[in-house]
A and B are shown apart, each in its own frame.
Chain A
Amino acid sequence: GESVGLHLPTLSVQEGDNSIINCAYSNSASDYFIWYKQESGKGPQFIIDIRSNMDKRQGQRVTVLLNKTVKHLSLQIAATQPGDSAVYFCAEKSGGYNKLIFGAGTRLAVHP
């Protein structure tokens, strides 16, 4: 079936550095993508989303890039802080369906 996957299961960065978390998706019909942050024992928290008619969207310290040609999604976090340590999930949605399909997740560990 269709799936969303991630290249890196764990990412370790130094505090203050920029982080890049990648995600590959396989459903070319997907037209909406979301990044979630999940801290231990908590529910996923919305970070940023992007529609397929865009290739870049910026938020506060975060940027999402979408490359439809290679079906790749990335989340960039600027000046990574210890509070950014969490598991990050990408999710995709296809037009006409209200279900989200989640990727495997990447754990981000920020070291002082």
Chain B
Amino acid sequence: GAVVSQHPSWVICKSGTSVKIECRSLDFQATTMFWYRQFPKQSLMLMATSNEGSKATYEQGVEKDKFLINHASLTLSTLTVTSAHPEDSSFYICSVPGDTDTQYFGPGTRLTVL
């Protein structure tokens, strides 16, 4: 399956600052990537679909101006959390579709907003 990396693995920031998270597909070119958010002891919730060369598709209730997604190339998508607040603290995970309908996930990024 696809090998996916994320950077950073964890980040702590002050309230009001912006944080960028990178998702890279290391061995697979991906025209689509997915961004999920996971709160403690909860399931994964899809935030948005990142599309190479076009705008991301956001799920209902996800603020596109707060969670900026840029799919710069076939191997890189970035998620920027703008004006972060403590309630944005969460585990952010990206995924890359495989050859079939499977999705392969990155290791996740733990965001803590003070």
Contact = CB atoms under 8 A, between A and B. Distances in A.
A100 B110 contact: no
Interface in B24-45: 32, 34, 42-45
B49 A98 contact: yes
* Majority secondary structure, B binding face: strand
Interface string A58-90: 000000000000000000000000000000010
Given A44-B105, A49-B100, A98-B97, A104 B43 contact: yes
B8 interface: no
A34 B100 CA distance: 12
Interface residues of A, number: 19
Interface string A27-45: 0000010101000011111
A99 B33 CA distance: 10
A46 B1 contact: yes
B93 A44 contact: yes
B102 interface: yes
A100 B46 contact: yes
A44 B44 contact: yes
A92 to B, nearest CB: 10
23 contacts: A32-B101, A34-B102, A41-B110, A43-B93, A43-B108, A44-B44, A46-B1, A46-B104, A46-B105, A49-B100, A49-B102, A89-B43, A93-B101, A98-B32, A98-B49, A98-B97, A98-B101, A99-B34, A99-B49, A100-B46, A100-B103, A103-B43, A104-B43
Given A89-B44, A99-B49, A102-B44, 19 more contacts: A34-B101, A36-B105, A41-B108, A41-B110, A43-B4, A43-B108, A45-B105, A46-B1, A46-B102, A46-B104, A46-B105, A93-B101, A98-B32, A98-B97, A100-B34, A100-B46, A102-B43, A104-B42, A104-B43
Interface of B: 1, 4, 6, 32, 34, 42-46, 49, 93, 97, 100-108, 110
